[in-house]
A and B are shown apart, each in its own frame.
Chain A
Amino acid sequence: MDQRDNTSHSRNAGAFREGFKDGIPIGLGYFAVAFALGVAARSAGLSPLQGFAASILCLASAGEYAGFTVIAAAAPLYEMALISFIINARYLLMSTAVSQKLSSDTHPVHRFGIAYFITDEIFAIETRQKGYLNPFYTYGAGAFAAPMWAAGTALGILVGNMMPVRLVSALSVALFGMFLAVIIPPARKERVILVLIPASFAASYAFSRLPYLRDLSSGNRIILLTVILSGAAAILFPHPSDEDAGTEAGEEAV
């Protein structure tokens, strides 16, 4: 029993370290994006401390940006609730996906903990994890990324537009680079994903340009396209589930 405890303890520590390492590029990208967000927060009248609090609590780029515009407009509180729900509704899908990556003996407390760290980027690296997700992997990633997000926001409010445009522009693609590092390697092995990615690019581009469709908020666009394209792929190319069985057996052997 002691032995088992020790191994699971060191496994958690290992997962935390691995998550922390993968969280470094996320944190750096966050810092740059949050800086820009801070500029919006500043014009909405937030103090650096309030910006820090909003970011450490919400960890949501588009959601916070929309929230700050609600504050700037002094709109009613229910509008804040509504807009936060709509823009962040994609997290419902991600949260459902992550629920399937947890082993059944994951303590309920960890479910609340992991939920806090469901962001586009941390979700992305969780997707790459083989087999079950160790909650400490998520905590490791968040331990660096979340404070960077909050600090970036606060700093953006403090020093505003002093960061060179070139640097902001360059750093702003860091997060997209990370997304590519997650989705491209599996495309090499799986033909469906190889087709699905360019199809998603094309559909997303079309939705951002076509009349009526381009009026959708980016959050709604993401949800709509995710449901349509993943649904179509699931109907046309059901994913063989023997892979899950394989990893589950592997988990047990460990």
Chain B
Amino acid sequence: MSKNINLYILVMFAVTYLVRALPITLIRRKIRSPFLKSFLYYVPYVTLAVMTFPAIIESTQTPYSGIMALAAGIVAAWFGASLFQVASLCCVVVLIAEFIIV
């Protein structure tokens, strides 16, 4: 059983790594197509936004604390807070909010 699990882990690793390694090792040139360049420029913003919401309100004990963390994070980032500051602020907001509502 235990040896079996190691095999599963190995397969998981091989596939996960290949997915990450193939594009970056095979695409060596600058992409010239204006469409593809624009597409790739927007990819991170869309991907990260899609991953943030609604996941942020589903990961906390109550959606309200997640919403508050989202709002606080947006405001702080808008006014130039650093990565670490925004991340910690979101955590603190959830901690305080859940002490009050949960």
> Which residues in A have some Cβ–Cβ distance to B below 8 Å?
22, 24-25, 28-29, 44-47, 50, 53-54, 57-60, 63-64, 67, 70-71, 77, 80-81, 84-85, 88-100, 102, 104, 108, 111-112, 114-116, 118, 120, 123-125, 127, 165-167, 169-188, 192-193, 196-197, 200-201, 203-205, 208, 218, 221-222, 225-226, 229-231, 233-235, 237-239, 241, 244
A230 interface neighbour in B30, B34, B39, B59, Cβ under 8 Å: B39
How many Å lie between the Cα of A54 and that of B54 in the bound state? Answer: 28
A173 interface neighbour in B56, B80, B81, Cβ under 8 Å: B56
Q: Contact at A169–B50, with CB atoms within 8 Å? A: no
- What number of A-B contacts does a CB cutoff of 8 Å give? 297
Q: Contact at A81–B15, with CB atoms within 8 Å? A: yes
Q: Identify whether the interface residues of A are mostly helix, strand, loop, or mixed.
A: helix
How many Å lie between the Cα of A124 and that of B77 in the bound state? Answer: 14
Contacting residues, chain A, for B22 (C-beta < 8 A):
92, 95
* In the complex, chain B residues 12-69 whose Cβ is within 8 Å of any chain A Cβ: 12-17, 19-25, 27-31, 34-56, 59-61, 65-66, 69
Chain B interfacial residues counted at CB < 8 A: 80
Q: Contact at B39–A177, with CB atoms within 8 Å? A: no
A177 interface neighbour in B2, B6, B20, B69, Cβ under 8 Å: B69
How many Å lie between the Cα of A196 and that of B46 in the bound state? Answer: 7
Q: How far is the CB of A65 from chain B (nearest CB, A)?
A: 11
How many Å lie between the Cα of A237 and that of B39 in the bound state? Answer: 10
Q: Contact at B42–A181, with CB atoms within 8 Å? A: no
Closest to B81 in A: A181
Q: Contact at A180–B86, with CB atoms within 8 Å? A: yes
A116 interface neighbour in B20, B28, B73, B94, Cβ under 8 Å: B20
